[in-house]
Amino acid sequence: MRVPVPEVLLPAGELGRVHFVGIGGAGLSAIARIMLQRGIAVSGSDGSDSPTLRSLREAGARVHLGHDADHLGDADTLVVSTAVRETNPEVVAATERGLRILPRSAALAAVMAGKRTVAVAGTHGKTTTTSLLTVALQAAGADPTYAVGGDLAQTGHNASDGTGDLFVAEADESDGAFLVYSPHAAIVTNVEADHLDNWGTEAAYQAAFEDFLERIDPDGFLVCCVDDPGAAALATEARRRGLEVVGVGESVTADLQAVDLTFEGSTSACTVVTAGAAGRAELGELRLQIPGRHYVLDALAALAVGLRLGYPFADLAAGLGSFTGTRRRMELKGEVGGVRVYDSYAHHPQEIAGDLQAARSVAGEGRVVVAFQPHLVSRTRVFGRGMGEALGAADEVVVLDVYLAREDPDPTVTGRLVAEAVPLPAERVAFVPDFDAVPGELVSRARPGDLVLTLGAGDVTRLGPVVLEQLARTVDG
């Protein structure tokens, strides 16, 4: 459901008791965790139990399974995400009682109040870049508050209330949330059409990023990856408006450039060069424990922010080098019988291409076997063919049916649309709409030395452990 953002945004301490509908989601759970650490009374509900809910309970939240009007208790404020329906009984009860109802964006803005925010935006790479920036700043001696769309491997959490004045936040454009924040600085990783169910046209989507420029503090700055045409165009527009811009990338036009990129197994490395008034200078080596060119560019953007904020290169680079990943971003789930199983969140053609490039590096001499679950009917309708074409970089492809999330099914838009666009021989591609049959299909295709990768923003993440179990039975048998 779409909830209007109030004209006056109250700081979190003035919201009273706060109840979250869908508290287990990545966005709401992060906000709830920060509020709990600040001593704010938090309750919430979700459809099923999860490690996230258990962790929030341990932190002091009153969490219910299922949705019921009684779960509101004595709440003063209700927070909902766009995935929640207007007919949700807790939403209906809150409306009848006249409670303050906030969208996720307004609730995040409430916990940002009083902090110097760095907002990380872009079509792809937001979660990883936000995580990298958080870890880099921590290594440099800062203690930022952070809110990320995934759990950091180092902390096991997607948020924490730091003691410093910085707030590092993932700024989501899917529903226009990033237009609610007023950051001191921002990163835009890339601008490529997505979420057209909300924006309607590619032009409207791009215009939203131009509107985002107006939200940035005029005395602050913007970091853009100028390798991406959309972000490069945004950087040009930002400079035209008088905003300080730091361009990053492999391009020779970048202010902070990555050169001599190398990829070996699950690691990546580059040399960082800066262009200034005195000419070009080498800052040093950046070595990462995560694979793939797109992750190098994400790290470079995080590095640029840290340097602009005044932190030393050596400390920031050490922090970036210690980063071991974010849950659901090329996350190793396990290995059985010489077959490694990874899981990643990629759901857009460009993201699929990036993760497959990384998977190819990790696989070495082995093959890449992919299970891909398209996410959203609207996205599959527009980008389904592009998804299939990107999957052609794998050796074996299994396509699941569309994960519906907040939309209703459309019999004309299924996973078959994606599978039929994969440019591989027919015997190397399968459309398997029966979710429970997918692990067996993957196991039958995988052999020792291969890398199995589950891709998608839906519940495809549940497949990894099942694949490992079935592989173990195969090996034992």
Catalytic-role residue among 77, 115, 130, 170: 170
Reading the block at residue 64, the tokens are 């219910």
Q: List the beta bridge partners of residue 281.
A: 274
Q: Note if 95 is an active site residue.
A: no
Distance CA 312, CA 319 (A): 11
Letter string b/e over residues 16-51, b meaning 16 or more CB atoms within 10 A of that residue's CB? ebbbbbbbbbbbbbbbbbbbbbeebbbbbbbeeeee
Helix axes 313-322, 293-308, angle to 10 degrees: 140
Do residues 132 and 126 make contact, with C-beta atoms less than 8 angstroms apart?
Answer: no
Do residues 141 and 315 make contact, with C-beta atoms less than 8 angstroms apart?
Answer: yes
Q: Note if 333 is an active site residue.
A: no
The one-letter amino acid code at 19 reads H
HSE (side-chain half, CA atoms, 13 Å) at 379: 24
Catalytic-role residue among 52, 117, 123, 127: 127
Distance CA 475, CA 473 (A): 5
Do residues 199 and 208 make contact, with C-beta atoms less than 8 angstroms apart?
Answer: yes
Q: Give the full edge-to-edge strand order of the sheet including 221-225.
A: 159-160, 145-147, 166-170, 116-121, 185-188, 221-225, 244-249, 256-264, 267-276, 279-288
Catalytic-role residue among 52, 126, 326, 351: 126
The catalytic residue positions are 126-127, 170
